[in-house]
Amino acid sequence: MYPHFAVIALGSNLANPAEQVRAALAELAAHPDIRLEKTSSLYLTAPVGYDDQPDFVNAVCTVKTSLDGVALLAELNRIEA
C-alpha cells in the first residue's frame, strides 16, 4: 500500500516556527496517501549564510507513501504554502 519511503526535513524561523513545524507534521500525518513513521525532536538552530534573521526550528521525519517523488513534492509544496 505504501511502496515508497522518504526522509523529509522541516524548518521555519518566522511566525511561531515551532507551531508551524508541528502543523506541517500534522498535515503529513493526516494525508491519506502518507504514513508518518518517525519524527525527530524539534531543534533550535542558528541561521547559516544570511545571519541577520531569527533562529530556525528544525525537525526531520520519515514517511511511507503511495505517492511518487513528484506527487510527494507537490504535497510538500502545498503544505508549505
Question: Do 46 and 55 touch, CB atoms closer than 8 A?
Answer: yes
Q: How far apart are CA 31 and CA 66, in angstroms?
A: 11
List the one residue out of 54, 52, 33, 55 whose CA is nearest residue 44: 55
> If pLDDT is split at 50, 70 and 90, which confidence band does 1 have?
confident
What is the SS3 assignment for 22?
Answer: helix
- Asked whether the CA dihedral 61, 72, 18, 12 is positive or negative, the reply is positive
21-65 pLDDT, tens digit each: 999 999 999 999 999 999 999 999 999 999 899 999 999 999 999
**Per-residue model confidence (pLDDT) at position 23:** 98
Eight-state DSSP code of residue 67:
S
**Per-residue model confidence (pLDDT) at position 26:** 98
Q: What is the pTM of this model?
A: 0.92
* 66-70 average pLDDT score: 98
Domain residue ranges in the chain: 4-80
Domain 4-80 has CATH 3.90.1170.50: no
* 5-16 average pLDDT score: 97
